[in-house]
Amino acid sequence: MKATATIYYSPEGEARHRALVERVVKEGIPPEATVIFKQRNTVATIPSGGITVNIKSFALPNIVNRYVYGRIRKSKARRSFANSQRLTRLGFLVPAPLAFIEERTALTFRRSFFISEHVFGLTEMRSPERHDFCGELMAALGREIARLHAAGVWMKDFSPGNVLFRRNPSTGGFDFYYVDLNRIRFDDHDPAHLDRMWERILFVPEQIAAATRAYAEATGRDADKVFATAMKRWNAFTSRKRKKSVKH
């Protein structure tokens, strides 16, 4: 059954990157693009419209999800685009969303792509202890999580590979950027649910303690209780990961 593609642009995306987007519709990620990530999904960078852009190609869904995304749920590409726009409106930093593509047959969903601006100079939050400013970075992250929670933002995939930072030369502090944004809940002010964001982001108790102290100062919550809750979430998550690893 023949598939058709639908393109949605931001104003900048349509003005400057239409040629690239239409090319992606025809051939997928161009062969001259540089692949920077490849597992289930693929991310590549390529020059376009005077800047460098990211092309994220989402894996073809399984047979059940091809129907679900075709008829019921919004695609990951669409959610990534919309969530990026909303986070920007709330004052948070993300690679600027430029366009997304959805490919469907009459009944089922096929491929999808999300195109965004590539931001240079960012570092993932993996292994923060390798930085001599680790304590300062953890405190800044704690304040940033408090800011997200005050805005009612809950991110399911709040993990070290999806949270990136760089020094702000004007303030001397840190700017945090977020990627992989298809699983976010907005207008969520339930502390029990928001606290689940501590599950994946940090690796050792000392780092969690530094972040939760700053978070508690920013929110007025009890620091010991926030730390205990974060550690409980972190331990439960790492335990599930170990069991899953053993099972596999």
Phi-psi region of 6 (alpha: psi -120 to 50; beta: other; left: phi over 0): beta
What is the distance between the alpha carbons of residues 158 and 160, in angstroms, rounded to a whole number? 7
Tens of pLDDT along the chain (248 residues) come to: 678 899 999 999 999 999 999 999 999 999 999 999 999 999 999 999 999 999 999 988 776 666 666 566 788 999 999 999 999 999 999 999 999 999 988 778 889 999 999 999 999 999 999 999 999 999 999 999 999 999 999 999 999 999 999 999 999 999 999 999 999 999 999 999 999 999 998 889 999 999 999 999 999 999 999 999 999 999 998 888 776 665 65
Rounded CA-CA distance 9/13 in Å is: 5
The model carries a pTM of 0.93
Closest CA to 202 of 154, 159, 149, 245: 159
* Domain ranges for the chain: 4-117, 123-247
Do the domains 123-247 and 4-117 match in fold?
A: no
CA angle 22, 26, 28 (to 5 degrees): 95
Q: What is the CATH number of domain 4-117?
A: 3.30.200
Residue 168 is classified by DSSP as: -
| Cα four-point dihedral sign 243, 232, 214, 83 | positive
- Residue 94 identity: V
C-beta neighbour count of 81 within 10 angstroms: 26
Which architecture does CATH list for 123-247?
Orthogonal Bundle (1.10)
Cα(142)–Cα(230) distance, integer angstroms: 11
